[in-house]
């Protein structure tokens, strides 16, 4: 059954079961490309299948649990795991965090690509459940207005990115490169190092150089992190939790 999921979408499975025909599937796929909505949602919207038939099929085929969203309000903190625009686009809503996984109510959880995208977005495992389109619409109405969410900052310039990724290796290795170069090309510098160490090319010279460079790397790493750390919007990208082990 898992293998079928990798090669067939929900529409193809419904077609194989005789619940829809080729023309209906082709039309649904065209609408999906234009809207990015799930195939199950589009088929139900077209009236090709009913909500109950779709949910029953998904539950029997994949073992997804049905989840009723009419019990009450969803915690606003839970809603913040998935931005409103994303939830509306793909017609899904976060329900709760459970055992390190985000439970997400969807009207068609058979889309593996969407599930992978969700996992990347929220930074934790996704546990999909089935919900009716009407229930999902009700929860989407609970989302607060996202003032400022549309104000996406412009991507950093090429120069900024070049400095960001080159600053640490350059500043980190520069003292070591300079030290080695002076040892190789400056007789006076070698004499000073040898006089401090007490013997030519001693183990102490190597050890102190290594320790000093290691301390410098730590300092540069911390400074680099303070200067170039990414500032995330609270609530939009929650902190990553340890992924739940596969049952």
Q: Note whether 131 and 51 are same-domain residues.
A: yes
Tell me if 25 is assigned to some domain: yes
CATH of residue 75's domain is 3.30.300.160
Q: Note whether 96 and 162 are same-domain residues.
A: no
Domain count, the chain: 2
Sign of CA dihedral 136, 138, 142, 144: positive
Residue 157 has what pLDDT? 63
Q: Note whether 32 and 109 are same-domain residues.
A: yes
pLDDT classification of 151: cutoffs 50, 70, 90: very low
Residue 93 has what pLDDT? 93
Q: What does the pLDDT look like over 196-234, one tens digit per residue? A: 666 555 666 667 777 888 888 888 788 877 776 544 443
pLDDT higher than threshold 60 for residue 36: yes
Q: Which of 108, 140, 172 is the endpoint of a domain?
A: 140
pLDDT classification of 235: cutoffs 50, 70, 90: very low
Q: Note whether 111 and 217 are same-domain residues.
A: no
Where do the H-state alpha helices sit in 72-132?
76-79, 84-90, 112-122
| Domain membership of residue 87 as a residue range | 2-140
**Whole-number Å distance between alpha carbons of 138 and 141:** 5
Q: Which of 92, 112, 140 is the endpoint of a domain?
A: 140
Question: Residue 204 — φ and ψ, nearest 5°?
Answer: -60, -40
Question: To 5 degrees, how large is the angle CA 19–CA 23–CA 25?
Answer: 55
Q: Note whether 209 and 181 are same-domain residues.
A: yes
Q: Note whether 10 and 67 are same-domain residues.
A: yes
pLDDT classification of 61: cutoffs 50, 70, 90: confident
Find the mean pLDDT for residues 120-147: 86
Tell me if 105 is assigned to some domain: yes
Question: Residue 173 — φ and ψ, nearest 5°?
Answer: -95, -15
Q: What does the pLDDT look like over 169-203, one tens digit per residue? A: 888 888 878 877 887 788 887 777 677 666 555 66
Find the mean pLDDT for residues 16-37: 85
Predicted TM-score (pTM) of this structure: 0.51
Residue 44 has what pLDDT? 84
Tell me if 107 is assigned to some domain: yes
pLDDT classification of 128: cutoffs 50, 70, 90: very high
Residue 28 has what pLDDT? 86
Q: Note whether 11 and 133 are same-domain residues.
A: yes
pLDDT higher than threshold 60 for residue 72: yes
Tell me if 151 is assigned to some domain: no
Q: Note whether 100 and 168 are same-domain residues.
A: no
Residue 73 has what pLDDT? 80
pLDDT higher than threshold 50 for residue 241: no
Q: Note whether 75 and 166 are same-domain residues.
A: no
Q: Note whether 69 and 31 are same-domain residues.
A: yes
Q: Note whether 50 and 119 are same-domain residues.
A: yes
Tell me if 234 is assigned to some domain: no
pLDDT higher than threshold 50 for residue 238: no
């Amino acid at each position: 059954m898992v293998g079928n999921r990798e090669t067939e979408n929900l529409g193809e499975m419904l077609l194989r079961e005789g619940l829809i025909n080729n023309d209906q599937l082709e039309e649904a796929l065209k609408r999906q490309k234009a809207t990015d909505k799930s195939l199950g949602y589009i088929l139900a919207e077209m009236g090709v299948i009913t909500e109950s038939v779709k949910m029953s099929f998904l539950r029997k085929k994949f073992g997804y649990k049905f989840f009723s969203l009419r019990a009450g309000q969803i915690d606003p903190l839970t809603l913040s795991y998935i931005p409103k625009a994303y939830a509306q686009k793909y017609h899904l809503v976060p329900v709760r965090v459970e055992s390190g996984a985000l439970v997400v109510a969807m009207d068609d959880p058979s889309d593996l690509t969407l599930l992978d995208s969700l996992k990347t977005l929220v930074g934790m495992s996704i546990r999909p459940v089935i919900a009716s389109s009407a229930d999902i619409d009700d929860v989407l109405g609970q989302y607060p207005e996202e003032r400022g969410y549309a104000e996406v900052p412009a991507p950093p310039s090429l120069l900024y990115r070049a400095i960001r990724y080159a600053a640490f290796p350059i500043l980190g290795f520069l003292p070591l490169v300079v030290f080695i170069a002076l040892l190789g090309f400056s007789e006076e510098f070698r004499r000073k190092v040898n006089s401090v160490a007490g013997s030519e090319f001693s183990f102490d010279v190597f050890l102190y150089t290594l320790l000093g460079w290691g301390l410098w790397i730590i300092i540069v790493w911390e400074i680099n992190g303070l200067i170039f750390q990414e500032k995330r919007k609270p609530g939009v990208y929650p902190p990553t939790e340890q992924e739940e082990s596969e049952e």
